[in-house]
Amino acid sequence: MASTTDYPEHPDNESLAPADISDLSVPNWLVEVNSYQLVRDTFSQLPLMVAIYSLEGVLISVNEEFTQILGWTTADLVTHDVLAACYPDPSTCQQVRAWMLGGQYGWQSIPTHTRSAQVIETLWSYIRLPDGSGIACGQNISILHQAQMALLETTERYALLIMGINDGVWDWDLHTNEVYYSPRWKVLLGYQEDELGQTLEEWVNRIHPQDVERVKLNLTLHVQGQTPHFQQEYRIRHKNGQYRWALSRGQVLRDQYGQAYRMAGSLTDQTEHRMAETQLLHDALHDLLTGLPNRALLLDRLGQALRHARRRATYHFALLFIDIDRFKVINDSLGHSSGDQLLIEFTHRLQQYLRPDDTIARVGGDEFVILLDDLSELDDALIVAQRLVSAFQAPFIVRGQSFFATASVGVHLKSDLNQPADEYIRNADIAMYRAKVAGGNRYVIFQPEMHATLRERMQLENSLYQALEKQELCVYYQPIYSLNNNQLKGFEALIRWQHPVEGLIRPDKFIPIAEETGLIIPIGAYVLWHACQQMQQWYEQFPDLNLVLSVNVSARQLSQPHLVDTVFETLTRTGLAPEKLQLEITETTVVENPDAAMQTLLKLKQQQIRLAMDDFGTGYSSLGYLSRLPIDVLKIDRCFVKDIEHNENSLEIIRAILGIAQGLRLTVVAEGIETEFQAQQLRELGCPVGQGYYFSVPLDVAATTQLIRDYSEVETVAGN
């Protein structure tokens, strides 16, 4: 074994001088001075870590690069097991020593600890010399390793991103024309990984024929640098044969000369988004309940019809504005859910009588507008209007129940083509209102002079609201007499409006408005209260009276759930006996919602309140249905009484009503008697009671009081 004293002094390169290796087998070639000088000079020039080790795998000497990177000098080799310090894990250290002794010529990458305990990535190669010793050459590859790890991390992140995002990714090599399609790109079109090739045609050939040229053009423009990026929405064929909406985005990469050599982008499935947009657009232009076009879509189509008519004189169109008669009453009675179902059934019936190209729009709660487009003749619109009116004579079936719902129709024929579309709708609405005022269940053609009528109606409506507050409404009383002996039987309370400017306004002018606006509810309560209060005062003033007070109840009132409570409270507060009050309801009012009406009428009947069916013979009730109603009186409508002189049918109808009443043990009252002949005819037919102008016009409180006084005096004299 050679010792350190065998080595010459080299103060300028101490790091290469070997440590005390007296116990080691030193390579003979290293002992030679000339060889040492050669080794020193060679190793010092290498940009590598160099370590010389013995036959036993013990480090003997290291160069400056080794010292700079790992921190260990040749002198440290005497006092430290540097190899063990570099590889503190015994198994790792053993593996390194095995590589050293085995002469591992290939490069081995391994984490190595520095003297300062920092771990760096190193790359080593071990050269075994003929005498058994060796040289270890190493590099610090930490930066390279970090770069490789960063690249690997980036690659993994990119791969995860490609797999994780909902979009498909494509990468187009413009030189080879090959395209990479990510697995997600293929899945979006229904394909497995191995089902598509890498050609551009795999993409382009699946684009919808109406879209493909636009997509190719925009791709070309971007590749040529004429657009900053590529973005295109189009339809692409799925594997199942259906087309789906897709959005492709892309960006090219250019070389130093500005030439595009690569383009990458994404594919987004837009089908659900498109469907949502389509649904939103549909909802914006259609009624959610019925699915019909709404006012916005109607105006658009009406605008198109106007433009067609301006270009062609023979192009005809018309508008029908339809409103369901007494729908508010039906809706209040049935409840909104059943009311909605009635609207749907109403829609279905409309559709049965119209052409597929006609537009039916719902423009309000129970308001519909029909655009009859491209008519052969304008008069065809009137034929359609009459058919619709007739179609609503049949009842509607809603949740197993039968309901009658007629319609009022306003017709506006093509006229002034310079009018805006909404003016056409307004005019048809005005005509519809005229039909409703006339009693509904009919159509009316718009005339320009109707605008003045509408203005009057609006003024009247505004004044009616104020009339309640200012107490301009008053109750009049029409006497009811026995036709046999002219005995006074009672009074019918009738509302009148004492307008400060217009004077006395008849109820047929403002009651329809009250029905539409809902004012009939407070007006009805007002009449009931004042009439009962006045009747009780007359009973107190004339104790021997035996009269009945009749008060009309509208369909709107009958549908109110608190009607019974209102009546009971009124009787209690005024003191009027229940049997002295008679409530009059119309036949059509009961038929509109028979179940609810029956319950209300039974509750009233249980309290001894008398019930009368007004306008009998003008509605739809059957005899079987009539027999179940808890009524006491049938009132013959004035239309039959008026025609009794000239119409044999009216005479027979009255005779039939009297027969029905006798069979059901009901009292009969004839309304609208105006002549002696009518009164005499009714007497001969056996009608017991009547009222009308022949006996007396409706009277105010003072005149009625005087009538009662005179009648009482006559009765007193007759009794004596």
Three-state secondary structure of 601-621: HHHHHHCCCEEEEEEECCCCC
How would you write 362-412 as a 3-class SS string? ECCCCEEEEEEEEECCCCHHHHHHHHHHHHCCCCEEECCEEECCCEEEEEE
Block means of pLDDT (10 residues each) for the chain, 720 residues, are 32 41 49 54 78 89 91 89 94 91 79 93 88 88 75 61 70 93 91 92 95 96 94 96 94 92 92 87 90 94 92 92 87 80 93 92 94 91 94 87 88 88 92 87 90 78 87 95 94 94 86 85 95 97 93 88 93 96 86 78 94 75 71 91 87 91 92 95 95 96 95 69
Contacts of 51 (CB under 8 A, 6+ apart): 59, 60, 61, 62, 63, 66, 135, 136, 138
Residue 165 is predicted with a pLDDT of 63
Q: Which amino acid is at 323?
A: D
- Three-class DSSP category at 81: coil
Exposure string for 8-35, b = 16+ CB within 10 A, e = fewer: eeeeeeebbbbbebeebebbeebeeeee
Domain identity same for 269 and 293: no
Domain identity same for 255 and 292: no
Domain identity same for 120 and 28: yes
| pTM for the whole structure | 0.53
Q: What are phi and psi of 613, to 5 degrees?
A: -100, 115
Q: Please indicate, yes or no, if residue 387 is contained in any of the structural domains.
A: yes
Q: Please indicate, yes or no, if residue 457 is contained in any of the structural domains.
A: no
Domain identity same for 253 and 294: no
Q: Which runs of E-coded beta strand occur in 238-357?
A: 243-254, 260-269, 316-324
CATH number at residue 238: 3.30.450.20
Asked if 60 and 77 touch (Cβ cutoff 8 Å), the reply is yes
Contacts of 439 (CB under 8 A, 6+ apart): none
Left (φ > 0), alpha (ψ -120 to 50) or beta: where does 326 sit? left
- Three-class DSSP category at 350: helix
Domain identity same for 400 and 487: no
Closest alpha carbon to 329 in 507, 592, 586, 597: 592
Question: How far apart (Å, rounded) are the C-alpha atoms in residues 513 and 51?
Answer: 112
Closest alpha carbon to 126 in 96, 150, 159: 96
Q: Please indicate, yes or no, if residue 456 is contained in any of the structural domains.
A: no
Contacts of 8 (CB under 8 A, 6+ apart): 33, 36
How many domains, in total, are found in the chain?
A: 4
Contacts of 343 (CB under 8 A, 6+ apart): 289, 290, 324, 362, 366
| Enclosing H/E stretch for 121 | strand 119-128
Domain identity same for 267 and 330: no
Domain identity same for 173 and 266: yes
Q: What are phi and psi of 443, to 5 degrees?
A: -120, 150
Q: Please indicate, yes or no, if residue 351 is contained in any of the structural domains.
A: yes
Domain identity same for 656 and 586: yes
CATH number at residue 563: 3.20.20.450
Residue 14 is predicted with a pLDDT of 41
Q: Please indicate, yes or no, if residue 369 is contained in any of the structural domains.
A: yes
Closest alpha carbon to 523 in 505, 540, 538, 537: 505
186: containing domain: 165-275
CATH number at residue 297: 3.30.70.270
Tally of CB atoms within 10 A around 312: 10
Domain identity same for 442 and 581: no
Asked if 100 and 136 touch (Cβ cutoff 8 Å), the reply is yes
Asked if 51 and 135 touch (Cβ cutoff 8 Å), the reply is yes
Domain identity same for 31 and 73: yes
Exposure string for 408-444, b = 16+ CB within 10 A, e = fewer: bbbbbbbeeeeeebeebbbbbbbbbbbbbbeebbbbb
Q: Which amino acid is at 11?
A: P
- Three-class DSSP category at 77: helix
What is the CA angle 413-418-419, rounded to 5?
Answer: 60
The two beta strands, 503-505 and 548-552, are unpaired
How far is residue 88 from each of residues 19, 78, 373, measured CA to CA in Å? 22, 18, 95
Contacts of 272 (CB under 8 A, 6+ apart): none
Q: Which of 111, 146, 181 is the last residue of a domain?
A: 146
Residue 30 is predicted with a pLDDT of 53
Question: How far apart (Å, rounded) are the C-alpha atoms in residues 182 and 291?
Answer: 42
Domain identity same for 617 and 672: yes
Closest alpha carbon to 551 in 574, 561, 542: 574
Residue 628, token pair as written in the block = 């179940």
Residue 2 is predicted with a pLDDT of 31
Q: Please indicate, yes or no, if residue 431 is contained in any of the structural domains.
A: yes
Q: Which amino acid is at 101?
A: L
Question: How far apart (Å, rounded) are the C-alpha atoms in residues 527 and 574?
Answer: 13
Q: Which residue has the tokens 């067609």?
A: 308
Q: Which residue has the tokens 């080790």?
A: 53
Domain identity same for 82 and 103: yes
- Three-class DSSP category at 307: helix
Q: Please indicate, yes or no, if residue 498 is contained in any of the structural domains.
A: yes
Residue 603, token pair as written in the block = 């509750």
Q: How many residues does the chain have?
A: 720
Q: Please indicate, yes or no, if residue 454 is contained in any of the structural domains.
A: no
Asked if 431 and 412 touch (Cβ cutoff 8 Å), the reply is yes
The two beta strands, 396-398 and 367-375, are unpaired
Question: How far apart (Å, rounded) are the C-alpha atoms in residues 224 and 219?
Answer: 9
